[in-house]
Chains A and B, each alone.
Chain A
Amino acid sequence: MSAPQDSLRLHVDRDRCAGAGMCALTAPEVFDQDDEEGLVLLRQPTPRPEHQAAARLAAGLCPAGAITVNSPDATAS
């Protein structure tokens, strides 16, 4: 069990992805691009603590809004 501040869940939408590579450039441990279409691949759906800051930055930089970040405890109902 990880502590709540460690929970970060990422979702990617390959239909929205523009293949610009900002995520793979910014957080290469978390994101990749497939070789065929260059679209986003998620290497770590729940990134390790040391990669979370880069993952959040990458989500914010994505030109197509194809990456969403959820902190489960923030959205629990």
Chain B
Amino acid sequence: MPYEPTAAEAAESAPTLPTDRRSGCPFDPPAELTALADRPLRRLRYADGHVGWLATGHAAARAVLADPRFSSRYELMHSPIPMAGLEEGLPPAQTGDIIGLDAPEHTRYRRLLTGRFTVRRMRQLTERVQELTAECLDAMEQAGPTADLVTAFAQPVPALMICELLGVPYAERERFQSRVATLFDQTADEQAKGEAYTGLLLYVRELVVAKRAEPTDDLLSDLTTTDLTDEELAGIGGVLLAAGLDTTANMLALGTYALLSNPDQLDALRADPGLAGQAVEELLRYLSVADPIPRAALEDVEVAGVLVKAGETVTVSVQAADRDPDKFPDPDRLDLHRSATGHLAFGHGAHQCLGQQLARVEMTVAFPALFARFPTLRLAVPPEEVPLRDRANIYGVISLPVTWEQEEVAP
């Protein structure tokens, strides 16, 4: 029989969530987190002293995310990382914030959206993504031969696309871009986040009211024909905009950094553009930028042979689960030829990423286009000087200075 510590002993000895990546490879989970992945599920001490769980095994992570007995409601969760201004606990999801809801409320909202993000509809956007990508590459080339890949390419490509899809004027991005950045910044205090969220909601609500009066051909306009209130529409629109702006953008920039750091893999992609779809899945697995995902047990549930008690929080480490050697052999190796199918980078369960098919189309177009346009693309700074977003909800790079040989660029 394995030794079972008492609750008091567990509280005493349980580790907190490791988040510091400074000592290691920027693409790997924190070394201390990997050290905790020797068991699929283990005790974790939360910022408020709660002793809950950390899931690092792929099967355990998947089981938690798939199980409706684990709630997504913020107010039932404890935070694994300290959040300034939230020492008293997390507030419930605001109206329309579908990420923090359970069935049936979550289902009702999600069903209004899933038809808009199907595989077929997103693939129909391929040509448009190609055009937007080419425009960004043109501008980058003209301003070259150096660029910050984040602002020149990784951010605008998905931002232009989600704005067009939702019906948000990209020209007004100063009204939402920095607010979204604040929302995802773990160092921002709760007041700043509250103001950013309120500002974002007010902006989207203005758009919704305008579209109700004068519909255009976009998702927000279409949603005004449902029974959703303006407040619900503003909340949903805000979530979709935020998610569309800051997720794929980080994958594109961090993924480029990872490929430049693994020249053999980049060569493989260049040699065979047909590899792009598979390469995107492997980059998603390898980088798993949206991490971690917390859940709260609504009742006692057994996971990986351990009894999680009602009321306890489980933090699912997607990064660790996607590096589980039982699921992905030699997991720390970026290998574009492997089958990364089954990764949890988009989550799992009823909340699995709504925009994942859009993200796939964007990345499958953007990575090959970037490397085709700039065959000599390389970092303009030593790799260790690339600033990392290690205190943000979505991991990535703050900037990625790149350069290329101008004369080699194809006309």
Contacts and interface: CB of A to CB of B under 8 A. Distances in A.
Interface in A29-47: 32-39
Given A57-B341, A61-B341, A24 B350 contact: no
Interface in B74-102: none
B224 interface: no
A32 B357 CA distance: 14
Contact of A35 (B120, B350, B354): B120
B263 to A, nearest CB: 30
B119 interface: yes
Interface residues on B, range: 20 to 34
In the complex, the 6 A-B pairs of residues with the closest C-beta atoms, listed nearest first: A19-B114, A38-B114, A63-B352, A38-B115, A33-B118, A21-B119
Interface in A1-58: 18-22, 24-26, 28, 32-39, 57
A69 interface: no
Contact of B348 (A19, A39, A63): A63
A24 B354 CA distance: 14
Contacts of B354: 19-20
A38 B117 contact: yes
B349 to A, nearest CB: 5
Contacts of B117: 19, 21, 38
B115 A18 contact: no
A54 B262 CA distance: 31
A35 B118 CA distance: 8
Of A18, A33, A34, A61, the most chain B CB neighbours within 10 A belong to A18
A58 to B, nearest CB: 10
A65 interface: yes
Contact of A63 (B116, B120, B121, B349): B349
B110 interface: yes
Contacts of A34: 115
Contacts of B121: 35
A24 B120 contact: yes
A34 B350 CA distance: 18
Contacts of A22: 352
A60 B341 CA distance: 10
B356 A20 contact: yes
A68 B189 CA distance: 46
A14 to B, nearest CB: 10
B350 A64 contact: yes
A25 B111 CA distance: 19
Interface string B104-127: 000000110011111111000000
B119 A18 contact: no
Given A18-B349, A18-B352, A64-B349, A36 B357 contact: no
Interface in B369-391: none
Nearest to B65: A63
B110 A19 contact: yes
A65 B68 CA distance: 11
B66 interface: yes
B310 interface: no
B342 interface: yes
Interface in B139-167: none
A22 B66 CA distance: 14
11 contacts: A18-B351, A19-B117, A21-B119, A24-B120, A26-B341, A28-B119, A35-B115, A36-B115, A37-B115, A38-B117, A63-B350
Contact of A65 (B66, B115, B341, B342): B66
Nearest to A33: B118
Of B118, B346, B352, the most chain A CB neighbours within 10 A belong to B118
Given A18-B114, A20-B353, A37-B114, A63 B119 contact: no
A10 B167 CA distance: 39
B52 interface: no
Contact of B356 (A21, A28, A37): A21
Contacts of A57: 341
B287 to A, nearest CB: 19
B350 A61 contact: no
Given A63-B65, A63-B350, 12 more contacts: A19-B111, A20-B346, A21-B117, A21-B119, A24-B118, A26-B341, A35-B115, A38-B115, A38-B118, A61-B341, A63-B348, A64-B352
